[in-house]
Structure 1
Amino acid sequence: MPAFAYDYLTAGCFTEINLARNKSDIRNVQLKPWYLRDFDGADQRTELFGETYDAPFGVAPVGLQGLMWPKACEYLAQSAVDHNIPFTLSTVSTASIEEIGKITNGKFWFQLYHPAEDLLRDKLLERAWEAGCRTLVILADTPTFAYRPKEIRNGLSIPPRMTPRNIVQMFMSPTWAMGQLIAGKPEFQTMKPYIPKGLNMKHLGLFMNKTFSGRLTEAKIAQIREKWQGNLIVKGIVNPDDAEIAVKHGLEGLIVSNHGGRQLDRGQSTIVPLYKLAPEFGSKLKMMIDGGMYSGADIAASLACGADFAFMGRTPMFGVCALGRYGGHHTFEMLKKQLQQVMEQVGCARVGDLCDHLIAESVPI
């Protein structure tokens, strides 16, 4: 893949301190094995919001997936269906709500970037519901667009800006380039009906910044709760005050997240607030996490620290960028095998029991 697309997938904000902290903190978590107890095998099946999934992890929302690899969003949605795990579509991805609804038979989650205008918000919610979506994720951790030096250097845009540097990168990635020619240029498909035609890259950027300048507030959560009859999740929560608001308004769950280290460079890693929030809110909300997980062992560590479910964004994308339409299948199969091995090694029969194997002193709080 071209370097500008790879940078978008892998980079964080500022000097990428929090990106590195996400990885290192979760890898400090240690588990204790029980070797001499009776053990009949491990079962990864997990119930979440009335659905039983084959594994306790799903696909996190990722923007601009089709820029990183042609049809990446559609490939991952299909792979998630085949492996019976949840797929989450971002508002700013390159596949439409309706297309993902068809691929998943309506069994998908939708992440809403909160628009500045209520009318646009309501249109997006209506489209998601009509496409079969019953779990809505509202994003809290992007009140402003972060400073990401690599994106600035690359002049990242949709479609990619045709600078001499980017053109060279495209020529050096012929499989990616051919795939883009076949698939068509990547666009914000969900947002396409609302984007004025004929905008150049500068004005498209200004339009998107203006459209999604809405900070999520308690009042806006209350409005969405009144309108959305399905499961309502808030993503980006890292402190108890915000978690209390989620409980107050009857939300079904929260996702502890720092946007993959892409928003606040001096924030906490995801595993630390999860470990602190789970004891207080785990009986009131489904506790989920994303950020910092790249293996089945990382998933096991997150579940041991109190998560009911884990979501991964970069890892499935790495699979698609390496293997195309088969990448999601390869990645999910690999993650399942890795998690199974960890559970069998420590003698854990069910994912909900992994917390019994946590060595609490290893959590970097």
Structure 2
Amino acid sequence: MSKKIVFKYNSKYPSVADLKRKAKCRIPKFAFDYLEGGCNEELNLARNENDFDDILLKPQYLHVAGDIDMSVNLFGRTYSAPFGISPIGLQGLMWPNAPEILAKAAAKHDIPYTLSTVSTSSIERIADVSDGKAWFQLYHPTEDRLRDDILRRLKDVECPVLVVLVDVPSFGLRYREIKSGLSMPPKMNIQNVLQAMVCPTWGIKTLQHGIPSFATLKPYMEKGLDLTQLGQFMNKTFTGKVNVEKVKAIRDIWKGPLVLKGVTTDEDMQAAIEVGADGVIVSNHGGRQIDAGESSIHSLIKLASNPIYKEKIKIMLDGGIRSGVDLGRAYAVGSDFNFMGRPFMYGVGALGDEGADHTITMFKAQLYQVMQQLTLENITQFPGRLIK
């Protein structure tokens, strides 16, 4: 008889939809819109989620299965579950101290948390609270000097995996951010202040942890920048397209696992392999960069169906996953690992310090149930249960 695992989490919030509803009530509208929004008419944002519905799985009820093992080996490390937490900028704006809450919970559950260059905690602080397990996503700076110093800091804390973001040659046109004042240069208006006043818990937590800032970038900023100057600094520091030569330069410096995030085409996949990347994360930036593109899951299906790619590089997914069922669907169509961003921010926004642990456990429970229902023992068996 196989051993059954019991997952304990807050039964009032058994789904991402439940967490999202609660978080929307606790996070000021301008911050929630920043988390939730996509670019232009947000069509690709919707496709990211909706296209999962077309992926169907088949059970084999008379198949005899043993104990379920959800662990995955990735870049020489074994993770307890086959998913991680995506990088999100300005996390501490959406919920105070969110990066530390998420990084601590990820380390506890032994899954990867990825810190963004433009998040609100520093490289060193997240390395400390995550026991050195956190990954880092690099927005490629305009100046090589700044790039090299960030890579030095990552080496000093023994960051296990470097993720280079390649899909931001320009910032997407995001109407919600323009209306709220969170586009560059950012500004707080009276409407935002009023929205914050009706979210007292968020306000109290913000007072406790301080006004959020780009903590990793502080050493490179002049002291006392106002919001307009901050916008100028960000535009100057991160204006510029990532190309093959820039990735090659990073590959020469960085000897650990190197992942390119934002790859969606054959051309970019071939380039990633040629420059010596160890993995790619197929992603359309959460529907925040190009509205006329295809969903992340459709891009992954095309790339993962090529056996040459699968032999040479890890193919991971970010975007649109909202349940353990979606995780199973992603593995069935060829993903090697999966990342989620918004669901974990919903969890923290809804439940505060307990939200990250809750959301990780919830996803584990959902995926475990799917594997039970399909009579699977491990993640590698999902492709055999795809209805093509």
Work out whether the TM-score is over 0.5.
Answer: yes
The correspondence for 1:320, drawn from 344, 348, 362, is 348
TM-score (norm 1): 0.97
- Gapped runs of 5+ residues in structure 1? 361-365
Instruction: Please give the alpha-carbon distance, in whole angstroms, between the structure 1 residues aligned to 2:277 and 2:183.
Output: 35
Question: Could you say what secondary structure the match of 2:194 adopts?
Answer: helix
The correspondence for 1:200, drawn from 220, 226, 244, is 226
Instruction: Please give the alpha-carbon distance, in whole angstroms, between the structure 1 residues aligned to 2:146 and 2:109.
Output: 33
**What is the CA-CA distance between 1:100 and the residue it aligns to?**
0.5
Instruction: Please give the alpha-carbon distance, in whole angstroms, between the structure 1 residues aligned to 2:294 and 2:186.
Output: 32
**Does residue 105 of structure 2 align to residue 79 of structure 1?**
yes
Letter matched to residue 143 of structure 2: E
TM-score (norm 2): 0.91
Q: How does 1:15-34 map to 2 (within 5 A)?
A: 15-34=41-60
The correspondence for 2:272, drawn from 227, 246, 271, is 246
Instruction: Please give the alpha-carbon distance, in whole angstroms, between the structure 1 residues aligned to 2:152 and 2:160.
Output: 11
The correspondence for 2:320, drawn from 284, 292, 306, is 292
The correspondence for 2:299, drawn from 268, 273, 294, is 273
Instruction: Please give the alpha-carbon distance, in whole angstroms, between the structure 2 residues aligned to 1:131 and 1:5.
Output: 31
Instruction: Please give the alpha-carbon distance, in whole angstroms, between the structure 2 residues aligned to 1:79 and 1:157.
Output: 30
Question: Could you say what secondary structure the match of 1:196 adopts?
Answer: coil
The correspondence for 1:99, drawn from 117, 125, 130, is 125
Alignment-derived partner of residue 355 in structure 1: 383
Instruction: Please give the alpha-carbon distance, in whole angstroms, between the structure 2 residues aligned to 1:262 and 1:300.
Output: 25
Deviation by residue 1:150-200 (Cα, 9 ceiling, x = unmatched): 001001169974312111101100000000001010000000111112222
Deviation by residue 1:116-164 (Cα, 9 ceiling, x = unmatched): 1111000111111111202100001111001001001001169974312
Provide closer, same or farther for how the CA distance between residues 52 and 210 of structure 1 changes in structure 2, counting only shifts above 3 A.
Answer: same
Question: Could you say what secondary structure the match of 1:126 adopts?
Answer: helix
Alignment-derived partner of residue 68 in structure 1: 94
The correspondence for 2:258, drawn from 227, 232, 240, is 232
Alignment-derived partner of residue 108 in structure 1: 134
**What is the CA-CA distance between 1:37 and the residue it aligns to?**
1.2
Question: Could you say what secondary structure the match of 1:25 adopts?
Answer: helix
Alignment-derived partner of residue 153 in structure 1: 179
Letter matched to residue 170 of structure 1: A
**What is the CA-CA distance between 1:31 and the residue it aligns to?**
0.4
Alignment-derived partner of residue 360 in structure 2: 332
Instruction: Please give the alpha-carbon distance, in whole angstroms, between the structure 1 residues aligned to 2:111 and 2:372.
Output: 21
Alignment-derived partner of residue 164 in structure 2: 138
Question: Could you say what secondary structure the match of 1:311 adopts?
Answer: strand
Provide closer, same or farther for how the CA distance between residues 292 and 267 of structure 1 changes in structure 2, counting only shifts above 3 A.
Answer: same
Decide whether the 8 Å contact of 1:157 with 1:201 is kept in 2. no
Decide whether the 8 Å contact of 1:115 with 1:121 is kept in 2. yes
Root mean square deviation of aligned Cα: 1.2
Question: Could you say what secondary structure the match of 2:260 adopts?
Answer: strand
Instruction: Please give the alpha-carbon distance, in whole angstroms, between the structure 2 residues aligned to 1:163 and 1:212.
Output: 25
Instruction: Please give the alpha-carbon distance, in whole angstroms, between the structure 2 residues aligned to 1:89 and 1:162.
Output: 25
Query: How many pairs are equivalent?
Result: 360
Instruction: Please give the alpha-carbon distance, in whole angstroms, between the structure 2 residues aligned to 1:12 and 1:273.
Output: 18
Decide whether the 8 Å contact of 1:90 with 1:112 is kept in 2. yes
Decide whether the 8 Å contact of 2:163 with 2:259 is kept in 1. yes
Deviation by residue 1:217-254 (Cα, 9 ceiling, x = unmatched): 01011101000010000000001111111111211100
Decide whether the 8 Å contact of 2:185 with 2:230 is kept in 1. no
Deviation by residue 1:289-347 (Cα, 9 ceiling, x = unmatched): 00001111111111111001000000111000011111000000000000000111011
The ranges of structure 1 where at least 4 consecutive aligned residues each deviate by more than 4 angstroms after the TM superposition are 157-160
The correspondence for 1:301, drawn from 299, 313, 329, is 329
Q: Percent identity?
A: 50
Letter matched to residue 128 of structure 1: L
Alignment-derived partner of residue 85 in structure 2: 59
Provide closer, same or farther for how the CA distance between residues 118 and 252 of structure 1 changes in structure 2, counting only shifts above 3 A.
Answer: same
Instruction: Please give the alpha-carbon distance, in whole angstroms, between the structure 2 residues aligned to 1:326 and 1:50.
Output: 30
Letter matched to residue 321 of structure 1: G
Letter matched to residue 358 of structure 2: H
Decide whether the 8 Å contact of 1:135 with 1:232 is kept in 2. yes
Instruction: Please give the alpha-carbon distance, in whole angstroms, between the structure 2 residues aligned to 1:165 and 1:102.
Output: 37
Instruction: Please give the alpha-carbon distance, in whole angstroms, between the structure 2 residues aligned to 1:176 and 1:315.
Output: 18
Letter matched to residue 378 of structure 2: R
Letter matched to residue 334 of structure 1: M
Instruction: Please give the alpha-carbon distance, in whole angstroms, between the structure 1 residues aligned to 2:299 and 2:186.
Output: 36
